[in-house]
Chains A and B, each alone.
Chain A
Amino acid sequence: MKLSQMIGGSSCKIVKSNATNKLYHKLLDMGFIPGATINIIREAPLYDPMQLKIHNYLITLRKSEAALIEVVQL
């Protein structure tokens, strides 16, 4: 399942990141490592981007980027 498909209020665990280059490194630095837990808080008022909680802090990601992260729902 892709992270972008998750709905607000649910949680998931990262399996793999399909991002490349700069985005790949940036996501790793922000803590998007395999096994990390993500809580999906909400979508923006215009449905994109999404607000997430990972490693106990809040982050926002566009859906186009979230689509590159494979997750399993918890």
Chain B
Amino acid sequence: MIKVALAGQPNCGKSTIFNMVSGIDQHIANYPGVTVDKKVGRFSYENEKIEMVDLPGTYSFSSYSLEERVSKQFILDEKPDVIVNIIDASNIKRHLYLTFQLLEIGMPVVIVLNMMDVAQRRGIVVDSKKISQMLGCKVIEASGAKGIGSKEIMEAIVQTSKNVEKYEEFSINYEELEPHIKEIENAIEQTKLTLNKRWMAIKMLEGDDTITSYLKKEFLNIEELTRTQIDKFHTLYDKDTTSFLATFRYDSADIIYHKAIKDVNIGKETITDKVDKIVLNRWLALPILFGIMFLIYELSIVGGYKLTDYTWPILAFIKNFVIDISPEAYLTDVPMVTDFAVWMINSANALINYIPIFFILFMLIAIMEDVGYMPRMAFILDRIFKKFGLHGQSTLPLVLGGAMVGGCAVPGVMATKGIADDRARMATILTVPYMNCLAKVPFYTLILGAFFKPDMSIMMFFISTVTIFTALIVAKIITSTFLKTRETAPFVMELPPYHLPTVKGVILSAAQRVWIYIYKVLTIVLAVAIVLFALLQFPGISKQSQEQYDSELEKSLTSFDKKVKKSSYYEEVDTKDEIADLLNYYDGYRNKRMATTSKDGALAIDETYNKKNPNFYKFIKPLKDNDAKIINAEIRKLAKERNRILRNIKNEKVENSLLGLSGKAVEPLTKYAGFDWKINVAFLSSFAARESAVATLGSLYEDNKEQSQRAEEAMAANSGYSELHAVAILIFMLLTPPCIATMIVVKMQTNSYKWMLFAIFFPIFLGITASSIIFTLGNLNSWSGLEAMSYFYFSIVLTALIIGFFPTKNINWQGGLKNV
């Protein structure tokens, strides 16, 4: 098998070449210990098996960024047979800088000139034969977007690996630096490393950390020796080795550029220049950016949500199917297996439901990445985000997290991948969950509907606009405390030429991200759902209560029996088993009937139920049969009664459960915010998925008398909460930690459980603190709910503005070489 490493600078079109050559047989993993994607593709050409690893895009081959370290580590540890270097043919000079570094490694290189079509269109004529002769390696002309050059690349890989014994070491003559390179080369003569010694010597002179750490193990004084050589060179020529080497490579690239490339349009305005004139125009840039953000939001969140109207029935069908095959309830005795099945399918559905939204979102992100708008967005807004310790590139993640009415933290956190500055990236990951989660909206609506009917719109305005300010403040807090020592990267960012994205590339990228979501998030969420289920189920209700419920059931059964005696069908419902069956039959029919809106669907359900049990069917649809009508009325009553008992059992179970007990246990702490154990339990159960908070609260506050009462009415009437309580609840929910799915992507992106736990507990701390302060102050000064919320809102906005306008002039980078 031929091992191939695919290297290239960012924006060279590496991934399109990778997709073109390796087809769809590719998988994504992480490089060990870091969150950098490692794409591996396998294919064969003329009976030769080839494995291609996509290295992260890097401008250079030193060790100053995570990507560079990862790439170098791969080359050192895996020793590929061939390095394939992708070059943007329309911007050869800068890309050749990396090429020279790759050639110096001392492994055979194949150069692929990508985007030949773009270069031709721009009037750039490339003499690839000349480049091939000058650099002593194969040079292939290709266009990933047009699908040109796949076969030639494979051919070149196979040929190069076959001719490996003819390979002669590539070296640049560094003239005045040569004696110093020799000096170090001699010193490491005896090394056990099989790598090219000259290359290692050059890397040492560049102060490369990775190579230094490898060689230090064998040669104790190697660092000292290198130091003296660098100093000697400095005193002799007044030149710094690193700068000297970089300049030398750029000059070499310049030679190739002048000998092999003719650019007739040089100096003329390109299409990119023209588009930039509009897109980055001082007055138009911000409106255009907001327009694009709004469009993304509309297409993905709003449009995707509409799409879920079509996908939801499929999920509902699966759910009904699972319920159908689960063992049926016997009166008030529901088998745990059935409870468990319903719980699991609900947890899964809540997450699967978002897939249409995610797919559209990921496609749009891929398009923006391919087009080249992402770094421009960072360019436009960097000034603002910089103030809060974030990066221009934090814009998109925050917007996806829900800058407007509702977003989702999962794609938001996943979109932080490209942020070059580690500290800003971490800060973005940890602040995205503070944005407006789409699934929190029903919860807000419930609380607002219950307590703030007349002021609903102003309250909703506060809720949806306060989040960006809280996120910015949190970013500032954590970047100047917990993240202070994190590595930062200088804001030196290429603005690539605009490109048309390829359909294949966009779909592949979106599909890969959705797959990560399904594979990683869903599996773990289901595991957590099992744990939560257990926490809610055990230890269950006491024997006494069970007896009490049994007697209640017995009573209603007796009443049923007495009433239906009059009916001529009494024989059909005179045993417990028959009644239990009829109850299940009735409930099943009702649930299915309520799930359909179409007339045909209703008829179909009628038919199936008629076929299933014609005897029972007449009780459900008695028409003019008076004897059946009696049973119909009574079975309805009984079903209602059974549901009441079931709900009471469930509530008592929750109250007695481990989760309920923990809700009660933290009550002394949460009482300052006005939260009783019921609210605590609702918050706790909302971890599984935000949606369940509403369901939990709804069922906890229903008083079982009036079935028609809506959840918000029930809550306002039965909870005994004041408006101030409601504000405290709202504030906590605004700051509350992300759902499990978000936590898992936080874990994926930070690659640490420590930060995941931080992402859970820091918001809880903030939420409890903020809501306690507002609740306590509100009680002291007898604020109305609206007043309390307004004070909260304006103090947050003011804090953010003060931070934003406070002048900061600090050095925001560190690390690199010591004692330079």
Whether A associates with B in a native complex is yes
User: What is the interface of chain A, defined by CB distance below 8 A to chain B?
Assistant: 17, 19-31, 33-36, 41-49, 51, 55-62, 64-65
Q: Is the CB of A51 within 8 A of B383?
A: no
Q: What total of chain B residues lie within 8 Å of the partner, measured CB to CB? A: 50
Give complex CA distance A62, B424 in Å.
15
Stretch at the interface among B15-23, B220-228, B488-496, B646-654: B488-496
Within residues 471 to 503 of chain B, which ones have a CB less than 8 A from any CB in chain A? 489-497
Stretch at the interface among B56-64, B70-78, B568-576: B56-64
Give complex CA distance A24, B740 in Å.
41
Q: Which of B64, B375, B494, B496 has the largest count of A CB atoms less than 10 A from its CB?
A: B64
> From A54, which residue of chain B is reached at the shortest CB distance?
B94
> From A48, which residue of chain B is reached at the shortest CB distance?
B383
Chain A nearest CB: distance from B251 CB in Å?
9
Give complex CA distance A24, B207 in Å.
12
Q: Is the CB of B91 within 8 A of A57?
A: yes
Q: Is the CB of A61 within 8 A of B382?
A: no
Given A28-B246, A34-B247; A23-B276 close (CB under 8 Å) = no
Q: Is the CB of A61 within 8 A of B383?
A: no
Chain A contacts for B247, CB-based, 8 A: 33-35
Main secondary structure of the interface of A (DSSP, over half): mixed
> From A42, which residue of chain B is reached at the shortest CB distance?
B280
Q: Is the CB of A60 within 8 A of B375?
A: yes
> From A36, which residue of chain B is reached at the shortest CB distance?
B250
Given A44-B380, A46-B384; A60-B97 close (CB under 8 Å) = no
A-B contact count (CB 8 A): 134
Q: Is the CB of B815 within 8 A of A25?
A: no
Q: Is the CB of B489 within 8 A of A45?
A: no
Q: Is the CB of A62 within 8 A of B382?
A: yes
6 residue pairs bridging A and B, Cβ less than 8 Å apart: A24-B820, A25-B816, A30-B492, A41-B276, A57-B494, A60-B492
Q: B528 an interface residue at 8 Å Cβ cutoff?
A: no
Q: Is the CB of A51 within 8 A of B495?
A: yes
Q: Is the CB of B491 within 8 A of A61?
A: yes
Task: Give which listed residue, B59, B91, B380, contacts A56 with CB less than 8 A.
Answer: B91
Chain B contacts for A58, CB-based, 8 A: 272, 276, 494-497
Within residues 747 to 794 of chain B, which ones have a CB less than 8 A from any CB in chain A? none
Q: B817 an interface residue at 8 Å Cβ cutoff?
A: yes
Smallest CB-CB A-B distances: 10 pairs: A21-B816, A29-B60, A22-B816, A28-B246, A46-B383, A58-B495, A23-B490, A45-B285, A33-B247, A62-B491
Q: Is the CB of A21 within 8 A of B243?
A: no
Give complex CA distance A34, B382 in Å.
28
Given A22-B816, A23-B492, A58-B495; A28-B243 close (CB under 8 Å) = yes
Q: Is the CB of A49 within 8 A of B59?
A: no
Give complex CA distance A54, B493 in Å.
12
Q: B386 an interface residue at 8 Å Cβ cutoff?
A: yes
Chain B contacts for A55, CB-based, 8 A: 93-94, 250
